[in-house]
Structure 1
Amino acid sequence: MIKKTKGIVIHYIKYKETSIIVKIFTRDLGLKSYIVNGVRSPKSKSKMAFYQPLSLLDLVVYDKENASLNRISEVKLSTPFHKIPFDYYRSGTAMFIAEVLGKSIYENYHNEYLFDFLYQVVVLLDQEGINLGNYPIAFLLETSRFLGFSPNNAVEFFEQVHPDVNDSSYAIEEKQHFTQLLKAPFNHEIRIPASIRRKLLDDLLKFYSIHLETFSEVKSLEVLRNLM
């Protein structure tokens, strides 16, 4: 069956000499894997740029029930990027977000509300006037809501992440900034010192690993740390 849908690229792996297998989180079908033949060939009519992390696509796909791999009939950019591919910080952040998503959702996982949110925040990442330093933390906080394990407050969050710490004064500054972001994650006016941002990012990734059994080490974190 042929279906039209929008999609967000999660990642791809090389397959044979000129092909790839790409995971795409689609709005209508969930997370799907597609084989794209010959795309890495110099003569290919398709473009590898379509399949970079977080690319926003309009797709026409073949969707066979119970098939582990499907094929793409037509593809075009839904919203072309103007900044992400040309900005080290934005491209590094995109790589981080895509990797986190790849570790947080599973094959055939379908959530239109999460898709719509992700589409908006990817578009936001490509715009001026955002707080890039806070962006990865804001992304983790808001995405946890759609995945069903968002913390209600700073106390609850830090008790889960640091259960061995009984001192209520632990990381007071970190808790204050966390509370700010919990109320308005993408507020570009919230200023947080780089050292606190690093701690919050590490704690949020630990929080994800507590709630998601499949969540493992995020390899792109080191790149993001260097950028932060």
Structure 2
Amino acid sequence: MLIKTRGLVLSYLKYRESSIIVRVYTEQRGVQSYLVNGVRRAKPPGRIALFQPLTLLELVAYVPRQGGSLTRLAEFRCAEPFRSLPYEVHKSSVALFLSEVLSKAVREEEENLPLFRFLHDSILAFDEQDAGTENFALLFLLHLAGYLGFGISSGAALTDQVALAGPATGSGFSSGPATLRLREFEQYFDELLHAPATTSIPNGQVRRELLAVLIRYYQLHLEGLGEIKSLEILGQVLAG
């Protein structure tokens, strides 16, 4: 049996000499893993580019048998080509970071149309945005939390939980000065939630700290989320 669905690429692993196993958040079936043969061959060129982080695809996929978790794609093509996201260092770094978060945070293997529409529309808007993109990752994670069941109503609600729980390995901040700054961070989170166009976040270093606090908040609500390794890469880009 075949299904036709849209999907958003989360990640892929190399498989054998020329194939990959790709994880996709699909419109009809949530998170699915597919075996894609031959896309790493030199000819035809460029096919592996379709499986870069957050690429939007149209898929025709085989439905796995009962109890099976891996199946194949019969057809695939780019649904909506990006204008800037793969070509600008800042945007591609954000895409890498968000795809890692999504790969670990979004796990359901069933239809969730509101979540799919949020992901689809947010990524397309980010690709089209020419200015004011510096806070996109923060805004994305703040809103994604609502779709995952632990939405944030205020900066104090977020920072109180993080302060109470304390730091975690790989969270990106310590129990020293950064924790003392959580009260200052309340203001920034409130601005992002309620007046994002006029936020007073001063620089990339503060954005990096805010992202680390948000990741710690996610760790408190998602068992097994673990360390987000690409946060360090994004932090370097933000600080540059």
8 Å contact from structure 2 (residues 155, 185) kept in 1 = no
Determine whether 1:201 maps to 2:211: yes
What TM-score comes out, normalization by structure 2 length? Answer: 0.87
Shift of 1:108: 1.6
Shift of 1:171: 4.0
SS of the residue 2:86 aligns to: helix
Q: How does 1:1-228 map to 2 (within 5 A)?
A: 1-44=1-44, 47-65=47-65, 66-106=67-107, 108-163=109-164, 171-184=182-195, 187-194=196-203, 195-228=205-238
Shift of 1:128: 2.8
8 Å contact from structure 2 (residues 28, 110) kept in 1 = no
The match for 2:170 is none
SS of the residue 2:43 aligns to: coil
Aligned partners of 2:45 and 2:232: how far apart in 1?
A: 35
Aligned partners of 1:90 and 1:46: how far apart in 2?
A: 20
Aligned partners of 1:15 and 1:181: how far apart in 2?
A: 41
SS of the residue 1:86 aligns to: coil
Give, as a single letter, the amino acid of the residue that structure 2 aligns with 1:218.
Answer: I
Give, as a single letter, the amino acid of the residue that structure 2 aligns with 1:17.
Answer: E
8 Å contact from structure 1 (residues 8, 56) kept in 2 = yes
**For structure 1, which segment, 15-24 or 150-159, has the greater mean C-alpha deviation from structure 2 after superposition?**
150-159
In structure 2, the CA distance between the partners of 1:153 and 1:188, relative to structure 1 (3 Å rule), is: closer
Give, as a single letter, the amino acid of the residue that structure 1 aligns with 2:33.
Answer: S
SS of the residue 1:149 aligns to: coil
8 Å contact from structure 2 (residues 159, 185) kept in 1 = no
Aligned partners of 1:92 and 1:155: how far apart in 2?
A: 29
Shift of 1:109: 4.7
8 Å contact from structure 1 (residues 32, 107) kept in 2 = no
8 Å contact from structure 1 (residues 9, 56) kept in 2 = yes
8 Å contact from structure 1 (residues 130, 188) kept in 2 = no
Shift of 1:29: 1.0
8 Å contact from structure 1 (residues 4, 59) kept in 2 = yes
For structure 2, the 5+ residue unaligned runs are 167-174
Shift of 1:155: 1.7
What TM-score comes out, normalization by structure 1 length? Answer: 0.91
Aligned partners of 2:129 and 2:102: how far apart in 1?
A: 24
Shift of 1:44: 4.2
Aligned partners of 2:46 and 2:107: how far apart in 1?
A: 27
Aligned partners of 1:60 and 1:6: how far apart in 2?
A: 9
8 Å contact from structure 2 (residues 159, 182) kept in 1 = no
Percent of aligned positions that are identical: 38
SS of the residue 2:35 aligns to: strand
Shift of 1:11: 0.4
Give, as a single letter, the amino acid of the residue that structure 2 aligns with 1:200.
Answer: L
Counting matched residue pairs gives 223
8 Å contact from structure 2 (residues 28, 111) kept in 1 = yes
In structure 2, the CA distance between the partners of 1:173 and 1:159, relative to structure 1 (3 Å rule), is: closer
Aligned partners of 1:175 and 1:124: how far apart in 2?
A: 26
SS of the residue 2:227 aligns to: coil
8 Å contact from structure 1 (residues 53, 98) kept in 2 = yes
SS of the residue 1:91 aligns to: helix
8 Å contact from structure 2 (residues 34, 73) kept in 1 = yes
Give, as a single letter, the amino acid of the residue that structure 1 aligns with 2:14.
Answer: K
Shift of 1:143: 0.3
